[in-house]
A = this chain, B = another copy of it.
């Protein structure tokens, strides 16, 4: 049983961390378990509201694979993946846009506002936030896009008017068509465009693990210059490879640091930002940020 005195003590101990992030920007990529469980969703959204009240600018970027899959199924349409990417034909991109920008996005906004926050829901189409071109690769992926520019004005306008922007990762192609965008990349690009202090990628794993079956082997900090070695050693592998790539891009383009963070633990955002050790795997540039070196 924790007493009122202990509670106050704990609040008080958050002071230096709040001071550290005060007036800065944190971009949260939100997805996976943290988005599906009602409890986890409340936890994440309330953490974001709390940060904004503590003078920290939060931008919430989300995907929504499960919702898209469900909608595909309901419409009798098969989800098809090529090279790990959802093949996105005309009808699929409509479903993606509807699910992300119409359902997931607005439901998140509604929940934040019910909890007393002031959120608005945007997607990459609004005010030209995310412009993209068709992603090219070994195969044709349909309407899957690669971001060519981020126009942060709308995010800065929203923040300075007191809103918490929630961003669905659908972008506008140069052809005017909607495109599906990987949410991790979008979050990384938005973070670097905003000059964010932190990029938090919420995932369904504890972080980068030395032994992927043992959470006790978490690697708490990775320098940019170590990513290649860790990848060649097979420690960074599978789905972690593109995630680390997003972190690398963001940090290389000026974001203070990026974190692979466990979205299955309640309030992992607060633990990460408001404790010395952090919680997930921190990716940083040992040149640019001596405090991490």
Among B8, B49, B170, contact of A106 (Cβ-Cβ < 8 Å) = B170
Q: Give the interface SS of chain A, mostly helix, strand, loop or mixed.
A: helix
Q: Is A103 touching B109 in the complex (CB atoms < 8 A)?
A: no
Q: Which residues of B contact A97 (CB under 8 A)?
A: 102-103, 106
How far does the Cβ of A134 sit from chain B's closest Cβ, in whole Å?
16
Segment from A12-20, A184-192, A211-219 that makes contact with B = A12-20
Among B15, B125, B126, contact of A53 (Cβ-Cβ < 8 Å) = B15
> What 1/0 flags go to A61-98 for Cβ under 8 Å of B?
00000000001001110000000000000000010011
Q: Is A94 touching B103 in the complex (CB atoms < 8 A)?
A: yes
How far does the Cβ of A34 sit from chain B's closest Cβ, in whole Å?
14
Q: When chains A and B are docked, how far (Å) is the Cα of A178 from the Cα of B111?
A: 11
Q: Is B106 touching A101 in the complex (CB atoms < 8 A)?
A: yes
A235 on interface, CB distance cutoff 8 Å: no
Q: Is A15 touching B49 in the complex (CB atoms < 8 A)?
A: yes
How far does the Cβ of A79 sit from chain B's closest Cβ, in whole Å?
16
Q: Which residues of B contact A101 (CB under 8 A)?
A: 101-102, 105-106, 121
> What 1/0 flags go to A1-28 for Cβ under 8 Å of B?
0101111111111111011001000000
Q: Is A121 touching B126 in the complex (CB atoms < 8 A)?
A: yes
Segment from A199-207, A243-251, A268-276 that makes contact with B = A268-276
Segment from A112-120, A139-147, A220-228 that makes contact with B = A112-120
A157 on interface, CB distance cutoff 8 Å: yes
Q: Which residues of B contact A12 (CB under 8 A)?
A: 43, 46-47, 50, 267, 270
A128 on interface, CB distance cutoff 8 Å: yes
Q: Is B114 touching A176 in the complex (CB atoms < 8 A)?
A: yes
Q: Is B6 touching A2 in the complex (CB atoms < 8 A)?
A: yes
Contacting residues of chain A (123-168) with chain B, CB-CB under 8 angstroms: 123, 125-128, 154, 157, 161, 163
Q: When chains A and B are docked, how far (Å) is the Cα of A16 from the Cα of B179?
A: 26
Q: When chains A and B are docked, how far (Å) is the Cα of A113 from the Cα of B113?
A: 28
Q: Is A109 touching B126 in the complex (CB atoms < 8 A)?
A: yes
Q: When chains A and B are docked, how far (Å) is the Cα of A116 from the Cα of B14?
A: 13
Closest to A6 in B: B2
A55 on interface, CB distance cutoff 8 Å: yes
Q: Which residues of B contact A236 (CB under 8 A)?
A: none
A-B residue pairs in contact (CB < 8 Å), sample of 17: A2-B2, A5-B265, A7-B275, A15-B116, A18-B50, A18-B54, A19-B116, A22-B53, A54-B55, A76-B76, A97-B106, A98-B102, A101-B102, A110-B172, A111-B176, A114-B176, A119-B127
Q: List chain A positions with a Cβ less than 8 A from chain B.
A: 2, 4-16, 18-19, 22, 43, 46-47, 49-50, 53-55, 71, 74-76, 94, 97-103, 105-107, 109-111, 113-116, 118-123, 125-128, 154, 157, 161, 163, 170, 172, 176, 178, 265-268, 270-271, 274-275, 277, 279
